[in-house]
Amino acid sequence: MTLITFLGTCGGRFATIYQTRSTGGIFIEDSINISLDPGPGAILRMRQEGIDPTKIDLLLVSHCHPDHYTDVDVLIEAMTSGCTQKCGTIIASESVISGIEGFQPKASDYHLSHLANVHVAKSAETFSIDDIQISATSTIHTDPSGVGFRIQTKNGIITYTGDTSINEDVIKFYDESRLLILALTTPIGIRLHHHLSPEDAVIILKEVRPEKALLTHFGLRAIDAGPESIAKWIQEESGVDTMAAQDGMRVNLGEEIEI
């Protein structure tokens, strides 16, 4: 069984500032434990959900915006017994690891030096961590080094889009996903440059046809409009089983996908 816990389901500046919902990303338990995009409060939300942050083996960080990276250093401390051991792995965008023009690095050199493996993820690169394969997907975002992640678990492929707008080069990376997690920011009829809208989600899902789509990273306007009604509309338009994630929601990926 692969278990996915949504620690936080909002994103964007103002939903994050006001903590309209929690931030903190996603925790995935398979043969290894993965923290994906640990935004503000990830460590708090793990404790609230009964998750031991010292058990994290792998950090995945898609890009250099606070709703995706804020708790990286404290989670590295958790992974490395307070920076007394050298263990664990981070796979993250170049902006997060080493910085790029306009974006200073978001993990400190001190913390990175205590990890056994530090990988800069570039689009289409694949990394093997134990028996899990992680590939970086393309994004079109204001952080030009941003990526999404495609995680080959023992129960099929989970793909997380990261923040992005879409074109064919982006969508091709979602192929064969069993579970597609979409960072959907806006409600129906509203487009925010470099982020997924419900209309984008319909285009993606009609093409990729995953077994299930899960929506997360809701901005203020999407929360006001009602994530469940957005998911219902996307499902009707795309024909793909679609659900809006909620804070604390757990998904079991086995022979079936159980919420």
Contact positions toward Zn ion, by CB under 5 A? 65, 163
Strands 117-120 and 89-92: parallel
For residue 150, give the DSSP letter: E
CA-CA distances (angstroms) from residue 87 to 38, 112, 133, 137, 172?
A: 18, 10, 18, 25, 33
Q: Which is nearer to Zn ion, 149 or 233 (CB)?
A: 149
Which tokens go with 237? 């338009």
Strands 2-6 and 179-183: unpaired
Q: Which is nearer to Zn ion, 155 or 165 (CB)?
A: 165
Q: Which is nearer to Zn ion, 129 or 183 (CB)?
A: 183
Question: Least distance (Å) from Zn ion to the CB of residue 162?
Answer: 8
Residue 175 one-letter amino acid: D
For residue 54, give the DSSP letter: G
Question: Least distance (Å) from Zn ion to the CB of residue 13?
Answer: 9
Question: Least distance (Å) from Zn ion to the CB of residue 63?
Answer: 6
Q: Which is nearer to Zn ion, 22 or 185 (CB)?
A: 185
79 contacts 59 by C-beta, under 8 angstroms: yes
Question: Least distance (Å) from Zn ion to the CB of residue 163?
Answer: 4
192 contacts 220 by C-beta, under 8 angstroms: no
105 contacts 95 by C-beta, under 8 angstroms: yes
Question: Least distance (Å) from Zn ion to the CB of residue 141?
Answer: 6
Question: Least distance (Å) from Zn ion to the CB of residue 120?
Answer: 18
Q: Which is nearer to Zn ion, 30 or 163 (CB)?
A: 163
Closest by CA position to 36, among listed 104, 132, 178, 111 = 132
Q: Which is nearer to Zn ion, 51 or 147 (CB)?
A: 147
Q: Which is nearer to Zn ion, 30 or 200 (CB)?
A: 200
Which tokens go with 109? 């050199």
State CA 166 to chain mean position distance.
16
238: left (phi over 0), alpha (psi -120 to 50) or beta: alpha
243 contacts 231 by C-beta, under 8 angstroms: yes
Question: Least distance (Å) from Zn ion to the CB of residue 215?
Answer: 16
